[in-house]
Chain A
Amino acid sequence: MARRPLPQPPVRLVGGRLGLWWQLFFRFGPPRWTLYMRHNWAGKRLVIAVPYVWLLLFFLIPFIIVFKISFSEVRLAMPPYAPLWEWVSERAVDVRLNFGNYLFLLTDDLYVSAYLYSLKVAAISTLFCLLIAYPMAYGIARSSPATRNLYLMLIILPFWTSFLLRVYAWIGLLQNNGVINKVLMAIGIIDEPITMMQTDFAVFIGIVYSYLPFMILPLYSNLEKHDFTLLEAAADLGASPIKSFLRITLPLSVPGIVAGSLLVFIPAVGEYVIPSLLGSTDQLMIGRVLSDEFFANRDWPVASAVAIAMLLLLMVPIMIFQRYQARELAGAK
C-alpha cells in the first residue's frame, strides 16, 4: 500500500527520556548472546552424556561382569567361581574360557522347558493384557478431559500399594477357602472349592493384573492422539463403525500395541515373584531357576549363563521392535 510520505524526525543520539545509553542499546540491539550460546555451549553435550554414562555404569559394566562369570568354573570359595585368567609366571597368562555352562543349559531338560514355559506364560499374559487394556485405553481416550484424569489416576492408584502385598492379596482371593470360592459356594454355584492356587491360571491372573497399567498407558497415549475426524471421514465414505475401527483406529494404534506388549512381555518372561507365590512348583519359570541357581545352588557361572541366555532370548523381540520403529520413522519423514 502506498502511504503518505511522513516527515522523518532527525536522528538524535543525545536526549530522550531514557538517555544516551538506552538509545544506543535499542538502536543497535542487545548483544547476540543467544546465538553465541547456541553455537558455543558445551553443556549440550554434557546433558546428552548423562544418560550414556548412567547406562555405562549401571548396565554395561554389570553386564560385562555377569558375562565374564558365565565363562568361569564353579568352585567352593569366595567368590564362588574361578577367575578367567591367572598369571602363571611373570610373562604368561593362563586364560581358561569355560563354555560348559552354556552346553549344560542345553543338555539339562530343566532349563529349556523353563525357557519355553516362561515364553508361553509371557505371551499368553501379554495377549490377555492387550485384550483387556485396549477397550479400557480406548474408553479413557474418548472420555471427557475431566473424567479422563480421574480414570488415569485410578489406573495408577494400585502402584501406591506394595507390589508384594497386592500379589499376596490374590492368594487370599484365589485359595481354596479364599473369598472367591466362599462366595461361589454361598451362592450355590459350586459345591466343592475350585483349585485355583498353584495353577497356570493363577499365574496368568497375577501377571495380567500386575502389568495391565503398562499396557494401558502406552495404548492410551497413542489413542488419545488420534484425530477423530478420520473416523468421521471413514463413516462418510460408507464404513460402518466396526469397519472404521479395523481399518483406521487399529492400524494407527499399532505403535502403541507394540510398545505396550513389549513393556508387558519382557518383564513377564523374567517374572519371579508372581509364579513363586501363585504358581505350581512342578513347572518353574526362568526367573525362579535363575534365583535358585544363584542362592540355593550357589552356582554363579551357570546362573550367569542362564541370565545371558535369557537376555539373548529377549533381544529378539526388542530388535523386532527397533526395526519396526525405524521403519515407522523412515515412513514418517
Chain B
Amino acid sequence: MAERRNDNKNEPWRDPSAQAYVEIQNVTKRFGDFVAVNNVSLKIYQHEIFCLLGGSGCGKTTLLRMLAGFEAPTSGRILIDGKDMAETPPYERPTNMMFQSYALFPHMSVAKNVSFGLEQEKLPKAEIAQRVDEILDIVKMREYAQRKPHQLSGGQRQRVALARALAKRPKLLLLDEPLGALDKKLREQTQFELINIQERLGVTFVVVTHDQEEAMTLASRIGVMNRGEIVQVGTPSEIYEFPSTRFVADFIGSVNMFEGRLIEDLPDRVRISSPELGGVVYVDHGISAAPGANVWAAIRPEKITLSRAAPADASENCARGIVKEIAYMGDLSIYLVKIESGKMVRITMPNVERLAEHERILWDEQVYLSWHSSSPVVLTQ
C-alpha cells in the first residue's frame, strides 16, 4: 500500500523541512523498577498510518496510552500539533482511541455509543444525528444503529468502535490492536477498509500491533519496538529488505542467519567466511564494519534457490544439504534443508506449476542451495 506513492509529498519523513504532527521526544516511562518505554523519540507526520510493531510487553501499548493521555511519561515530552501535552487531560486532547477490547458502552445502543463523543461537544441534536448516520454509513453499520453491543458479532463491534473513535473527526486516531479479535479473512478485508477510510477522512493513524502482516498491509511506516526501545523505523519494504539488526530481521518474516567473519571488506563488495554455512558469502555491496569483525549474513527464505543440480559457480553463495521437512502451504512450499555444517535452512518455493509431483523435490533428496549476491543483508548487531 505504502509503495503506491513515491514523491516527497506523500513521504514527508524524507523532507527535512516537514513539520511533524506528533513529536515524541526522549520519552521514558517507568512502572516501579520496570522500564516500559525507554528514551523513545519519534516523529509522526500528518496523513500517515504509523504502526508500532513489537512482541507483547515491548511497550508499544504504553506508548500509545501516553499519546492518549492515560499515562504520563516519567520523563520526556509529547507534542501534538506543536503543543506540549503534559498538562492536557485525555478528555481535552485532539486524539481519539480505538481500544483493543473496543470498550463499547454496554448500556447504550450503537447510535448512542457513536454520538457520545459528539454530545460532549454540545453540538445541536440534528447535526449529531446527521453525523452519526454519516459515520455509520462509512463503516456499513447503519441498519444496526438501534442494537446494543451485546447483540453484535465481533466484527460488527469492531466497526462500531471504529465509528465511535472517528465520529469526532479527530486529527489523530490511536488504534490498539484494532483487528486482533477478528478471523483472518475478515481481518484482511477490514485492513483495506481501514486504509480506504483513512485516505477518505485524512486522519493520521497510529496503530499498535503485534501482527507483522497487519503492520505491513496498513502502515506507511513501521516502528519496530523491542524492550521499550524503538529498534528501527522505516517503510514496510525498508524494514523487510534492509533490517538494521538481527532482532528486526528475525521479527519481520523469517530469515536464515549465518554467523561469520569479514575476510574481504571493499567499498563495493564484501566476503564473509561462515563456518555455520560451511563456505563463503559474497555480497555485492559494501558495509560499514571493522575488518575481522563478527557479522551475520541474513538471507530471506524466498531468495534462496533450490536445485538438484549443482550451480555453475559452486565456490560461493552455495551450500549442499538434504531435505528434511516439507510443508505444503498451497501457494508456496516451505523446505527445511539440513546443510553439511548441520544447520537447518528454511527455503520457500512458489508452487508455480500445478501438482508437478514428479518434478518436485521430495524428502531426503540431496539439493543445492544458492542465492544471488545482492540477496544477503549483512548485520553487525
How many A residues, CB 8 Å from partner?
22
Contact call A233/B103, Cβ cutoff below 8 A: yes
Asked if A251 is at the interface (CB within 8 A of a chain B CB), the reply is: yes
Give the distance in Å from the alpha carbon of A227 to the alpha carbon of B102 in the complex. Answer: 11
Asked if B144 is at the interface (CB within 8 A of a chain A CB), the reply is: no
Query: Which B residues have a C-beta under 8 Å from some C-beta of A?
Result: 68-70, 89-92, 95-97, 99, 101, 103-107, 116-117, 120-121, 148, 150, 164-165, 168, 325-329, 363
- Specify the main secondary structure of chain A where it touches its partner: helix
Asked if A331 is at the interface (CB within 8 A of a chain B CB), the reply is: yes
What residues on A are CB-neighbors of B90 within 8 Å?
A: 232, 235-236
Q: Which chain A residues (228-251) contact chain B, with CB distance < 8 Å?
A: 229-230, 232-240, 243, 247-248, 251
The listed residue (B68, B105, B327) touching A236 by CB distance below 8 A is B68
Q: Chain A 268-305, CB within 8 Å of chain B: the 1/0 string?
A: 00000000000000000000000000000000000000
What residues on A are CB-neighbors of B106 within 8 Å?
A: 230, 252
A4-B325, A238-B121 provided; 5 other pairs, C-beta below 8 A?
A227-B101, A230-B103, A238-B92, A239-B116, A243-B120
What residues on B are CB-neighbors of A239 within 8 Å?
A: 91, 116, 120
What residues on B are CB-neighbors of A233 within 8 Å?
A: 97, 99, 103-105, 164
Contact call B121/A230, Cβ cutoff below 8 A: no
A242 CB, min distance to chain B CBs, angstroms: 11
Interface-central residue, B97, B105, B121, B325, by most chain A CB under 10 Å:
B105
Contact call B103/A232, Cβ cutoff below 8 A: yes
What residues on A are CB-neighbors of B105 within 8 Å?
A: 230, 233-234, 248
Give the distance in Å from the alpha carbon of A236 to the alpha carbon of B170 in the complex. Answer: 11
What residues on A are CB-neighbors of B91 within 8 Å?
A: 235-240
Asked if A50 is at the interface (CB within 8 A of a chain B CB), the reply is: no
Contact call A236/B97, Cβ cutoff below 8 A: yes
A6 CB, min distance to chain B CBs, angstroms: 11
Instruction: In the A-B complex, list the 10 residue pairs whose CB atoms are closest, starting with the nearest.
Output: A237-B117, A238-B120, A2-B328, A233-B103, A1-B327, A229-B103, A235-B90, A235-B91, A236-B97, A4-B363
What residues on A are CB-neighbors of B101 within 8 Å?
A: 227, 229
Give the distance in Å from the alpha carbon of A229 to the alpha carbon of B97 in the complex. Answer: 11
A55 CB, min distance to chain B CBs, angstroms: 33
B344 CB, min distance to chain A CBs, angstroms: 15
Interface-central residue, A237, A247, A252, by most chain B CB under 10 Å:
A237
A4's closest neighbor in chain B, by CB? B363
Asked if A332 is at the interface (CB within 8 A of a chain B CB), the reply is: yes
Q: Chain A 128-165, CB within 8 Å of chain B: the 1/0 string?
A: 00000000000000000000000000000000000000
Give the distance in Å from the alpha carbon of A327 to the alpha carbon of B107 in the complex. Answer: 13
The listed residue (B69, B70, B164, B363) touching A237 by CB distance below 8 A is B164
Give the distance in Å from the alpha carbon of A235 to the alpha carbon of B68 in the complex. Answer: 10
